[in-house]
Structure formats: C-alpha cells, structure tokens
Amino acid sequence: MTTTVVELWTQEPLLRFVGQASARLVVVMTPAGQVLAQHGFARAVDLMGVAALGAAIMASSAALADLVGEPRYGTIFHAGQRHGIHLAALATPRGPLVALTVFGRETSIGLVGFFFEEFAAALRSAAPAQPARGPILAENFEAELGQSLASLFRR
Amino acid sequence: MNDALMHALDRISRVRGVRGSMFVAVDDGLVVAQLLMEGVNGKAVAALAASLARKVGGASGAIGAGRVQFAQLAAEGGTLLVAPAAHDLLVVALADPNVNVGLCRLEMVRAAETSVR
Amino acid sequence: MADDIRTISDALARDPASLLYADLSELLRRRGDVEQALRVAEQGLARHPEHADGLACLGRIRADRGELDRAREAWTRALAVAPGHVGALKGMGFTLFRAGDARGAVELLALVVQAAPSDEGARRALAMVRREAAAAPAAPAARAGAAGERPPVFLGLEGAAADILLCDDRGRVIAGGLTGADASDVSELAAAALAGVSGEAQRTAQYLGLGAWGTIVAETDRANLVLAPVTAGALLLVRRDRSVPIGLAVRVAERALGAASAWLERQGA
Amino acid sequence: MSLVNFTTREITCKIVYYGPGRSGKTTNLQYIYSQVPNERRGRMVSLATQTDRTLFFDFLPLDLGSISGFTTKFQLYTVPGQVYYNATRKLVLQGADGVVFVADSQARQLDENIESLQNLHQNVLEQGVDIRGLPMVLQYNKQDLPRDLVLAPAELDDALNFRSLPSVPADALRGAGVFETLKAVSAEVLRKLSQGSAGREG
C-alpha cells in the first residue's frame, strides 16, 4: 500500500495507525483541505478531492455546531454498507488538523476510534511549531509557469 | 431497556475479581452500556473484545464448529470474557486472572438473556 | 475489455505502485492471457506482498495453469491477511471440490454466500457442489492421508491427527491435523482462519495491560476449542467435544503445548 | 497558506473563484476541466442544488507540472454566489492562497458585483487576513453579450478595481479569458512564494 507524507514528522505515527486500525485510506490535512500525509490513494488528484470534501464536512459541521450552540463535534462517523468513514479534528503545535480514515469490515469504528486517540497524541507530540519561511520559487519562475499552463491547455 | 442492562451488569460486577462489565455492539466495537471500576478503559475493552470475538467467531465458523457461545482470553494479568447476546450485542467482562469463571459465565449468560427482553 | 485493459495499463504505467495491478491481472486472466496475468500479479505482489486481492488473483491464475498446490498456497496467504476474503474462500472451496471433497467445498461456499449474498457465481457454484455432495459417498478416504504425512508431534494424545493442530501466524499448517464433519482434512483452511487470532489476542492483552496471553477457550455450537501460543508465531488448536468439560480440554491443550514446544525446540525453531 | 513540501519539492495552492450568483464561477471551472488532459486533472466535484446552483462549492484539482523545480498543484474552488450562503462562502475561503473575483459584466448586475466584493472583503477580514496581501485577479465575464447590456472593462475597472489588480475580460461559456485569468492568478500566487512573503508553511 502506498503511503506518502508531505511533512516527514507525520510518517511514523501514520504508518503505526494504519497498521493498528487496519485502515484502508487515511488523509491528514489542514482545515483548508491541504494534504499533509496520506495512505492508500493511488492518484494524487483523487486524494485532493477527498481532502477537499473531508475538510468541508468538518468545517460545515463545526459551523453548524456553533449555530445550534453546541461545542464543536470532535469526531464524525459515517457507517456505510462496505466502508466506514471516521473524520476527526485535532490540535497540534503545527496548527489545527483534520484526519479522515476510511475502513472496511475487517476492523470496526470502535478500533479505529480507539487507535485514533493514540494517533492524535503521537501527531501532537511529533508536530513541529510553525517555521518562518523565506522565498521558495526562483524570481524568474514566470516563463516556466507560462509553459506549464500552455501545456495544460494544450496551446 | 437501559435499566435492565445496567442491572444485569451490576450482577456481573458483584462477582469477586470482576473489574468491569459492558454490553458492546459487536460490529462497531462500541459500548452500549458499561459498569467499570476506576482505571478501566471502556472504549479499549469494547473495541478489542469485539474484534477478538469476531476473529474467534470467524475461525470457529470456518472450521465447522459453528457459533461461539462463550469465549475467554486468559492472560498473566487478567481475563477477558465474552458472551454473545441478542441484537448483535456482546456481554463483555474484564476480571482478575483468578476470577471464578464459572460464576462469571453464569451471570454473563443471564445478562445476555436480559438483552433479549 | 480491451479498452479496460488499456485504461488500467496506462494508469498503472503512470503509478506503478498502484493496486490496480490486481484488476489488470484479473482482466488479462479472463481474456485467457494467463502468462501475462501471472507476470503482472507477481510484479504487483513484489510491491504489495500482503495485498489480499492480488493474492486471490494469483491463486486463480495458478489454478488456471493447473498448479493447484500453488493456487492453494496463494489463497491461504490471502486468507491469512484477510480471513473472510470472499475470492480466496471461493478458491479454497474450488480446490476442495477438485480434490474430491464436495462436502468440505459446500461448507466453504456456504460461508461465501453468507458473506456475499449478491455473488451469483458463488451461489451457482454452491448449488452445483451441493448436488455433487448429495450424490457422493461421505469422506474420500484418500484425503485422510494429509494429516498422516505431517510430523507426528502429538503422538499418544487423543485426536492427535484429527483434533489437534499446530499452525503458524501466516496461516500455514506445521503439524497435527483437523478433520471436518465428514472426516475430511480441513487443516489448511483452519490454519488460514486462525492466522489472525494469535496477533489479535496478543494485541488485546497488551492494550488492556494484561501481560502475555495464555489461552483462548471458546465454547461453540459443536465443540470446545482451546487456543494457545506456543513460541512466537506458532499457535496450537485443540478441539474437544462439547461433552468434554472445559477444564479437561485445557489439560489436554497443556499436554499438547508441552509436546509442541519440545518438538519445535528440537527443530531449532 | 500554500503547502510546500521541501523534501519532495511540491507546492499545493488553493485558489477560490468568488463573485455574485450566476456570474460564471462554475462555468470557469467546467471550461478548465473540459480543456485539461485527463492525467493533469482530478475529478471535478460539484456540490450543487437540483437547479445546478452551487450549494457548497465546486472543486477541481490541477497538476501544473514543474515550476522552479517544484511540482506545482492547484486546487480550484468556487463559492456559492447567492447572498444567503455566506456561511459556506466563509468556509471555502479558509486558507485561500489566491482569489479570482468573477464579476457579471451586465450593467444591471453592478450592484450585485459591488455587494459581493464587499462581502469578500468582510469575510477575508474576519479571517484575520489583510486583503492587500491576498493575491487577487478580477474577471469581467459575459463580455460577449450585446454592448448595450454590458459595461466595458474600463467602466468595470472604475467601479470595482480600486486597487489596480490585474483584470481580464471574459466569455467563460466559450472559454475566452478563462485561461488568461488562471494564468494571472497563478502568477500572483506564485510571485508571493518567490518573494518569500508567504509567511508560514501549511
């Protein structure tokens, strides 16, 4: 199974969680839907769609909770026919994160929830604080951007 | 129904050496009702007991032994007891290693019958 | 189908780590291109050795090539990873049927139909195998030999070749044997089904702070079962009739455990 | 906040298409989707009502390829335009790296454009972001309609573009200006990364 991490500190906790909970797919993302780490996805672009929707569910249910005067829901669980979805928010020194887990019938929501607590604690202790950041792209990036977009639109 | 479940759990917990007892949804591994001594992680017991019960049940079915009616995991530091009940529930008890399994089993089977009502 | 094969090959070429290899291999196999299906499956499994769908597909390819033993090996591995894997259970049912054990096949296919009620292929296979089972006399004697070929570890214990089984955590039989209701050998199936139990018991004991686990005793509809870890990775199963008191079954298990440990030690395990 | 992975050298940016109802935000994404080769885009997700109005958002992931040695990916979102969907607009706007404001060029829609632009400012402010630092491009859509119905780009600049942001006239339905808009906003977003004022990672 493929596992990729954008930020290295997420890797060890993620691999451990996947093994313990027998998760099929896992995405760790920012509340804006940016992916920090994933397990089980074959195509990066599919992953982005799942992350966008997961972040949206979390954001909208938090807004809904605010509206009805409830504390924000920490965890959302969807019991499907073949797959369950576990969606949870967690706070880390890196900032708030959202984790989405898809699991099959070989495990259970109870196991996923139980091992998720360990996962969240491991992420919290592994997360670095936000680093300051200097320039990333070269100053003359625009020619390359022009080429990239032109090839994207087959021009 | 909840009162009856709690009453049934109370009877299990009166057996000497029992640290906690609960009704667990077997497919979800989630607690339906529980009565625990301090320090027992109900979520963990429920999730792990249901998972173990499913694995043992699957193995039993596969070798033609049929459904599991009662199962016991004996370990150095304690004993985990599981009995199936109606509505896809399990009765689960966590106890000391030297618990009177016969007595505990009796109360658990009685509790399982309670859940039918 | 040719289009599907092309689409999936393209996707696989772009992302060689993808699990799509199993789909591609299956499509190739169905098209009759067994050699290429085998290559794709083996390449995929080199990357994902624990991928149950891939292993189940490999089993079907092996069966197509007439390599029934290797097919069974692949399905056993699939079942060790995913005990209820429908494709692998179907495959195992097929090998039992081919080996003349129609009743064993019925038991397995019934499990499949129960797990996947919408699987028409499995339903048809079950109906066909049931007819055969009704027509065939019980228990092909030839199959009882399987246990006899294994090391005589439990010699002297009651049920040494029919009710006591030693297997490893990958779902492989080490010694002893287990027979089904019709006296056919179901050791391999049992070993596959038990593969996940040892790890599950260990994990449960660990997370609940119970230390090392000693036994699992299960009272079932038709038997009393005792499971115990022997050395790291090896698992012992003792089956006794419901009429045998649990305490006695545990005693037998303890003696079998002693025999198994001593034997494994002699083997240098 | 664009996400930068220095190990695998990847950049992911979130771009939000904002604007009043029926100004053509979803049409922009649909056109891009129809033009981009399969392997460079993901599935387009549209959370819409039965009458095809955007309910929550549309989403389209794009793979731009390599820029300055970074594999660059864009996530394009639209927001629902209708006034009463402000709560969901705020959610979609969270963490945006750049905004395309799609204005409806029809003269009778000017008030809606102004209202939506003000709403954008307010929502960005609420998130503690200084809008002057947020890469942004204006698109004047529906320029293909008869001249007497629409305002000219210069008139729209006067009415909407106080900060002299890049602006692009467009006919999103037929694709005119769609590419130029995406190019302009990409350049703005990436320029910020090249200047190192992106602030923080993630």
CATH number at residue B69: 3.30.450.30
Could you say which residues from 3 to 32 on chain A have a Cβ atom under 8 Å away from some Cβ of chain D? Answer: 4, 6-8, 30-32
- Return the CATH number at C131: 1.25.40.10
CA angle, B17 then B21 then B25, to 5°? 155
Is a pLDDT exceeding 60 seen at residue D202? no
By CA distance, what is A41's nearest residue in C? Answer: C18
Min Cα–Cα distance to chain B from A106, Å: 9
Q: Break chain A down into helix, strand, coil percent, rounded to 5.
A: 45, 25, 30
Q: Is A110 on the interface with B (CB under 8 A)?
A: yes
Higher model confidence: residue D25 or residue B1?
D25
Contact assessment for residue A24 and residue A53, using Cβ atoms and an 8 Å cutoff: no
Q: Is some CB atom of chain C closer than 8 A to the CB atom of A106?
A: yes
Domain boundaries, position A92: 3-132
Return d(Cα C151, Cα C155) in angstroms, integer.
9
- What is the average pLDDT across D97-116? 97
Cα–Cα dist D35/D29, whole Å: 10
ipTM for the whole complex: 0.75
Residues C127 and C9 in one domain: yes
pLDDT greater than 90 at residue D77: yes
Host domain of residue C177 = 142-266
DSSP-derived pairing of the beta strands D70-78 and D10-18: parallel
For residues B59 and C197, the answer to whether their CB atoms sit within 8 Å is: yes
At residue A83, the pLDDT reads: 87
DSSP B117: -
Q: Which chain A residues are closer than 8 Å to C84 by Cβ? A: 105-106
Residue numbers of the domain that contains B39? 2-114
Stronger pLDDT, C233 or D190, i.e. the higher one: D190
- Choose among B68, B84, B79, B85: nearest CA to B104: B79
Has residue A141 been placed in a domain? no
Residues 6+ apart with CB under 8 A from A10: A28, A36, A37, A123, A126
Residue A62 corresponds to which tokens in the numbers above? 């938090």
- Chain A and chain B share a number of CB contacts under 8 A equal to 36
Cα–Cα distances in angstroms (integers) from residue D53 to residues B48, C93, D26, D67, D113, in the given order: 46, 53, 9, 35, 17
Residue % of chain D over a pLDDT of 90: 66
* β-pairing verdict for D45-48 and D54-67: antiparallel
Length of chain C: 269
List the single residue in B29, B48, B54 with the smallest CB-CB distance to A109. B29
Contacts of A121 in chain B (CB under 8 A): none
Q: Indicate the pLDDT class of residue C219, thresholds 50, 70 and 90.
A: very high
Whether the per-residue pLDDT at C139 is higher than 60: the answer is no
Q: What is the mean pLDDT of residues B31-56?
A: 95
C158/C235 same-domain check:
yes
Mutation target vs C (from B40, B73, B82, B90; most C CBs, 10 A cutoff)? B73
Of D47, D75, D194, the CB nearest to A141: D194
Q: Closest-CA residue in chain C for B47?
A: C204
In this structure, what DSSP letter does residue D44 have? P
D49 three-class SS: coil
Average pLDDT over residues C138-163: 66
In this structure, the dihedral spanned by the alpha carbons of residues A60, A65, A69 and A72, taken in order and rounded to 10 degrees, is -120
CB C100 within 8 A of CB C61: no
pLDDT tens track for B74-102: 999 999 999 999 989 999 999 999 999 99
- Contacts of residue D18, defined as CB under 8 A and 6 or more positions apart, other chains included, come to D25, D79, D89, D93, D99, D100, D101, D102, D116, D120
D22 Ramachandran zone, left/alpha/beta (phi>0; psi -120 to 50):
left
Select the residue of C107, C192, C208 nearest B45 (Cβ to Cβ). Answer: C208
Question: Which candidate in C103, C173, C210 is best for mutational testing of the B interface (most B CBs within 10 A)?
Answer: C210
Helices C68-81 and C52-64 sit at what angle, rounded to 10 degrees? 170
User: Can you give the pLDDT at residue A60?
Assistant: 86
Considering the domain architecture, whether residues C236 and C203 belong to the same structural domain is answered as yes
CATH topology classification for D3-100+111-134+182-195: Rossmann fold (3.40.50)
3-state secondary structure of D166: coil
Q: What integer pLDDT is reported at residue C145 of this predicted model?
A: 45
Task: Domain count for chain C, please give it.
Answer: 2
> C203 to chain A: which residues are within 8 Å by CB?
20
Give the CATH number, domain containing residue A53.
3.30.450.30
| pTM as predicted | 0.72
Closest residue in C to A4 (Cα) is: C17
Q: How far apart are CA B73 and CA C233, in angstroms?
A: 17
Rg (alpha carbons) of chain B, rounded to whole number: 13
Residues C185 and C204 grouped into a single domain: yes
What are the φ/ψ torsions at residue B110 (nearest 5 degrees)?
-65, -45
pLDDT higher at D196 or A38: A38
Mean pLDDT of A10-20: 93
pLDDT of residue C269: 60
Contact predicate B73/B99, CB 8 Å:
no
pLDDT of C211 above 90: yes
Same domain membership, residue C123 and residue C157: no
Mean pLDDT of chain D: 90
- My answer on whether C130 and C25 are in the same domain is yes
pLDDT at C148 over 70: no
Nearest in space to C227 (alpha carbons), one of C204, C250, C210: C250
Give the domain-ending residue among C137, C167, C199: C137
- What digits encode the pLDDT tens for the residues C9-49? 888 887 777 788 998 999 898 888 888 999 999 998 888 88
Three-state DSSP state, C256: helix
What mean pLDDT, rounded, does chain A reach? 87
Least confident of A100-104, C84-88, D146-150: C84-88
Contact between D68 and A138 using a beta-carbon 8 Å cutoff = yes
